[in-house]
A = this chain, B = another copy of it.
Amino acid sequence: MTRNPDVPEAAVTRLAAYLEALERLETQEVATTSSAEIARHAGVNAAQVRKDLSYFGEFGRPGLGYDVANLRRSLARILHLDREHLVILLGSGRLGTALLGYPGLAQRAFRVAGVFDSSPRVIGQELCGHRVLDVRNLQEFNREHEVKIGIICVPTAQAQAACDQLVAAGIRAILNFAPVSLRAPPHVLVRHVDVTRELQALAYYLAD
């Protein structure tokens, strides 16, 4: 899953957190900031912020700190958020619908190119401005659109099949919401967001 072995994967994820912090600072019209302030916003150590940034270049000036707007732009560029990313949604149930309507996606330049499902009950229906398409047309669809990112919101039992279909359609990265570990070829990145797993971990620490 890790591609650039020099940059810890955790550092990349934190970069997104720093970006959020910078956006907040920018709306508060803060022009200049420090690693300590970013760290406070992101809930990490200040040295961690500097180290993470150092993987990608030098963005600050000793004694002065960082220019908020500049650093925000730099981080956005590093994360490739300076251009739009198309995503394909697999599964139009409650979670898929929630994501479709989630403004956070568009705010970060992620645009849903297509919504797919396998159930005849929903195929063809309109959902948040998207016609739900038949998953059997996924490969054909993506020959034209060349979407790189797929999001799996199907029930557990169908998640691996959904993954295989995305891979066959040429997808390069998958965000999986189903509570199963997926098997995918090594050239396909898979990230797993598992609500139940998180809750179960919380429950562990709640011994009475």
Q: Report copies per complex.
A: 2
Chain A residues in the interface with B (C-beta under 8 A): 3-4, 9, 12-13, 15-17, 19-21, 24, 41-43, 78-81, 85, 87, 94-95, 97-99, 101-102, 104-105, 107-108, 110, 148-149, 156, 172-173, 175, 179-183, 189, 191, 193-207
- Pick the contact of A196: B16, B183, B195 (CB < 8 A): B16
Knowing that A94-B102, A108-B200, A149-B203 are A-B contacts, what are 18 other residue pairs whose CB atoms are under 8 Å apart, sorted by A's residue number?
A: A9-B201, A12-B201, A13-B201, A15-B201, A15-B204, A20-B180, A20-B181, A24-B180, A43-B183, A78-B204, A87-B199, A94-B98, A105-B199, A149-B202, A149-B206, A173-B205, A191-B198, A191-B202
